[in-house]
């Protein structure tokens, strides 16, 4: 198995591959370290990947398993769509939309949960759990049901109704916590010390986070094993942002890709923008904030990987921006009108930041950009309620002619 150990991102201390998530020495976060010395033939490795299953498991050599785990809901291999209309609207060379709403529970969280639950089963857990702002709740409940595991899902009590219903339907024990995501996460961290449960984003976090790398692998493969010039990606905890960068780095190290990392641009809502604020102010630390935004899936006021997201943005010559509530809705509408993709509020944030980057000239007419859409608009319908209108007519031609403007 290429995975060797869990390694501290702060001090480099190594630990065995178990249910650990924090360094005993410095309390830094842990991540999986690999030995890829046996993967020394890029051409053969490309052929192996392309001959693999149509899911994230085609990238098994870069995930923490010896063999392909048994899974009933396969995530990954979602569409990468080139949008000439969106590129023309923004004055950008090429825009590719990675639509991860095409996963089983309609968000990128299916990737990370597939990895986490497979590892939970390997380690002998019978109960899985999570702290969530919605999409993770959907994925954990669904994948646990498919795996025959019991589950507990903890969410803020003001979560969108669509996400609540799309979680509870799987029979999970759904716990609504009176507080924001950071309150929920703190409770789950305490519970992980009291119960023998696999909290996918607490004690299994090092494995869970590895699933996000597959979003880099897929984009590179779908582009013909080439890199984009720019990446625009939402930032909540910062894990997705940093792991996409790590995925590209791993393939560059193995000569599967040529060139250098794309410029990484992070997207946050102004109502919860600790990473964007730190970037703008030149700070190294993200000061916690109390979230107040319609983009609830990004409403993490104390981002665990915020400092690492700042590092990725700065060393690639990228940026981290925030957008207002009105700009989020405009972003949802812009993506829908130009691509036919209806995204949730997080995608509205990402598309709005893409528009801001284009307007600022940071992305131009010669650039190729990939924008990551992480969830489905049907999960956040209230966000667009006020921008959708209908024409009401009687069932006669004259009524239609009087009420509805006709395109020439």
pLDDT by residue (tens digit) across 34-85?
Answer: 999 989 899 999 999 999 999 999 999 999 998 999 988 999 999 999 999 9
Mean per-residue pLDDT, 300-327: 97
Structure tokens at 289: 């904030």
In a domain, 122, yes or no: no
Q: How far apart are CA 344 and CA 250, in angstroms?
A: 30
The CATH number of residue 367's host domain is 3.40.50.1100
pLDDT by residue (tens digit) across 256-313?
Answer: 999 999 999 999 999 999 999 999 999 999 999 999 999 999 999 999 999 999 999 9
pLDDT beyond 90 at 198 = yes
Q: How far apart are CA 268 and CA 270, in angstroms?
A: 6
Instruction: Judge whether 32 and 42 are in contact, CB under 8 Å.
Output: no
pLDDT of residue 244: 98
Sign of CA dihedral 243, 245, 246, 248: positive
pLDDT of residue 408: 77
Cβ within 8 Å of residue 19, ≥6 positions away: 123, 125, 198, 203, 204
In a domain, 373, yes or no: yes
In a domain, 318, yes or no: yes
CA 353 to each of CA 70, 90, 183, 232, 304: distance values in angstroms, whole numbers, following the listed order: 38, 12, 28, 8, 22
pLDDT of residue 258: 97
Instruction: Judge whether 295 and 271 are in contact, CB under 8 Å.
Output: yes
Phi, psi dihedrals of residue 111, rounded to the nearest 5°:
-65, -55
Mean per-residue pLDDT, 81-105: 98
Mean per-residue pLDDT, 149-158: 96
pLDDT beyond 80 at 1 = no
Quote the percentage of the chain above a pLDDT of 90: 97
Q: How far apart are CA 214 and CA 77, in angstroms?
A: 9
Average pLDDT over the chain reads: 96
Structure tokens at 357: 């980057």
pLDDT of residue 57: 97
pTM: 0.95
In a domain, 127, yes or no: no
Phi, psi dihedrals of residue 171, rounded to the nearest 5°:
85, 15
pLDDT of residue 192: 94
The CB density around residue 388, as the number of other CB atoms within 10 Å, is 8
Q: How far apart are CA 342 and CA 123, in angstroms?
A: 38
pLDDT by residue (tens digit) across 226-266?
Answer: 999 999 999 999 999 999 999 999 999 999 999 999 999 99
In a domain, 285, yes or no: yes
Mean per-residue pLDDT, 4-17: 95
In a domain, 135, yes or no: no
In the block, tokens 């969530």 appear at 132
Residue 121, CB-side half-sphere exposure with 13 Å CA sphere = 17
pLDDT of residue 170: 97
pLDDT by residue (tens digit) across 171-197?
Answer: 999 999 999 999 999 999 999 999 999
Count of domains in the chain? 1
pLDDT beyond 90 at 347 = yes
Quote the percentage of the chain above a pLDDT of 70: 100
In a domain, 10, yes or no: no
Domain interval for residue 372? 80-106+211-387
pLDDT of residue 68: 94
In a domain, 407, yes or no: no
Structure tokens at 371: 């924008």
pLDDT of residue 407: 86
Phi, psi dihedrals of residue 8, rounded to the nearest 5°:
-70, 130
pLDDT beyond 80 at 7 = yes
């Amino acid at each position: 198995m290429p995975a060797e150990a869990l390694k501290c991102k702060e001090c480099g201390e190594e630990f065995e591959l178990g249910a650990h998530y924090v360094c005993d020495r410095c309390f830094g976060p842990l991540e999986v370290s690999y030995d890829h010395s046996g993967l020394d033939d890029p051409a053969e490795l490309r052929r192996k990947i392309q001959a693999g299953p149509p899911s994230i498991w085609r990238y098994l050599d870069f995930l923490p398993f010896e063999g392909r785990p048994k899974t009933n809901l396969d995530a990954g291999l979602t569409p990468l769509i080139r949008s000439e209309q969106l590129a023309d609207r923004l004055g950008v060379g090429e825009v590719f939309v990675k639509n991860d709403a095409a996963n089983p529970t309609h968000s990128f969280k299916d990737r990370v949960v597939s990895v986490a639950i497979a590892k939970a089963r390997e380690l002998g857990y019978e109960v899985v759990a999570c702290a969530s702002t919605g999409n993770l709740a959907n994925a954990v409940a669904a994948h646990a049901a498919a795996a025959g595991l019991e589950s507990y899902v903890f969410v803020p009590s003001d979560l969108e109704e669509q996400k609540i219903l799309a979680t509870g339907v799987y029979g999970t024990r759904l716990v609504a916590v009176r507080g924001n995501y950071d309150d929920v996460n703190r409770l789950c961290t305490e519970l992980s010390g009291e119960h023998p449960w696999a909290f996918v984003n607490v004690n299994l976090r090092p494995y869970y986070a590895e699933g996000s790398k597959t979003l880099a692998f897929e984009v590179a493969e779908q582009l013909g094993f080439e890199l984009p010039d720019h990446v625009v990606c939402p930032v909540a905890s910062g894990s997705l942002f940093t792991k996409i960068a790590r995925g590209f780095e791993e393939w560059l190290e193995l000569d599967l890709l040529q060139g250098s990392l794309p410029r990484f641009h992070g997207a946050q809502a102004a109502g919860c923008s600790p990473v964007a604020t730190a970037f703008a102010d030149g700070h190294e630390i993200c000061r916690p904030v109390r979230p107040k935004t319609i983009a609830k899936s990004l409403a993490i006021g104390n981002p665990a990987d915020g400092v690492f997201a700042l590092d990725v943005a700065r060393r690639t010559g990228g940026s981290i921006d925030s957008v207002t509530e009105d700009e989020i809705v405009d972003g949802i509408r812009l993506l829908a009108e130009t691509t036919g993709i209806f995204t949730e509020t997080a995608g509205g944030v990402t598309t709005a930041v893409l528009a801001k980057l284009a307007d600022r000239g940071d992305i131009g007419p010669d650039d190729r950009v990939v924008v990551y859409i992480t969830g489905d608009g049907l999960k956040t319908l209230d966000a667009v309620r006020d921008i959708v209108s209908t024409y009401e007519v009687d069932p006669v031609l004259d009524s239609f002619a009087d009420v509805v403007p006709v395109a020439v």
